[in-house]
Amino acid sequence: MTTPATPDLRPNNTHFSSGPCSKRPGWSLEALSDAALGRSHRAKIGKSKLKQAIDLTREILDVPADYRIGIVPASDTGAVEMALWSLLGPRGVDMVAWESFGSGWVSDVIKELKLPDVRKFVADYGKIVDFAKVDFDRDVVFTWNGTTSGVRVPNADFIPADRKGLTICDATSAAFAQDLDFAKLDVVTFSWQKVLGGEGAHGILILSPRAVERLESYDPAWPLPKIFRMTKGGKIIEGIFQGETINTPSMLCVEDYIDALNWAKSLGGLKALIARADANAQAIEDFVAKTDWIANLAVDPATQSNTSVCLKIVDKDVAALDAAGQDAFAKGMVALLEKQGVAHDIGAYRDAPSGFRIWAGATIETSDIKALMPWFDWAFATQKAMLSQAAA
Collapsing DSSP states into helix, strand and coil, what is residue 94?
strand
Judge if 177 and 48 occupy the same domain.
yes
Judge if 338 and 304 occupy the same domain.
yes
Residue 114, H or E segment: none
Residue 392 scores a pLDDT above 80:
no
Let me know if residue 56 belongs to a domain: yes
User: Which among 163, 156, 208, 199 has a CA at the least distance from the CA of 179?
Assistant: 156
Collapsing DSSP states into helix, strand and coil, what is residue 73?
strand
pLDDT value, residue 363: 98
Judge if 259 and 147 occupy the same domain.
yes
Residue 86: what residue type? S
Judge if 91 and 211 occupy the same domain.
yes
Judge if 255 and 273 occupy the same domain.
no
Q: What is the mean pLDDT of residues 88-99?
A: 98
Q: How far apart are CA 197 and CA 21, in angstroms?
A: 5
| CA–CA distances in Å: residue 214 to residues 78, 81, 186, 231, 278 | 19, 16, 10, 11, 36
Count of structural domains, the chain? 2
The one-character DSSP state at 371 is H
Residue 1 scores a pLDDT above 80:
no
Residue 240 in contact with residue 230, Cβ under 8 Å?
Answer: yes
pLDDT value, residue 4: 79
Judge if 286 and 298 occupy the same domain.
yes
Tens digit of each residue's pLDDT (9 = 90 or more) over 172-222: 999 999 999 999 999 999 999 999 999 999 999 999 999 999 999 999 999
**Domain at 290, CATH number:** 3.90.1150.10
Q: What is the mean pLDDT of residues 129-145?
A: 98
Using a cut of 0.75, tell me whether the model's pTM lies above it.
Answer: yes
User: Which among 64, 112, 121 has a CA at the least distance from the CA of 88?
Assistant: 112
Judge if 259 and 277 occupy the same domain.
no
Judge if 212 and 172 occupy the same domain.
yes
pLDDT value, residue 2: 65
pLDDT value, residue 102: 95
The Cα diameter of the chain in Å comes to 74
Q: What is the mean pLDDT of residues 108-127?
A: 97
pLDDT value, residue 388: 81
| CA–CA distances in Å: residue 161 to residues 182, 377, 387 | 11, 47, 54
Judge if 345 and 380 occupy the same domain.
yes
Last residue in a domain, options 223, 240, 266: 266
Strands (E), the chain: 68-73, 93-97, 118-122, 139-143, 145-146, 151-152, 167-170, 187-191, 202-207, 231-232, 235-236, 294-296, 308-313, 356-359
Question: How does DSSP assign 264-319, residue by residue?
Answer: HHHHTSHHHHHHHHHHHHHHHHHHHHT-TTEEES-SSGGGB-SSEEEEEE--HHHH
Judge if 212 and 107 occupy the same domain.
yes
Give the length of the chain.
392
Domain containing residue 343: 269-386
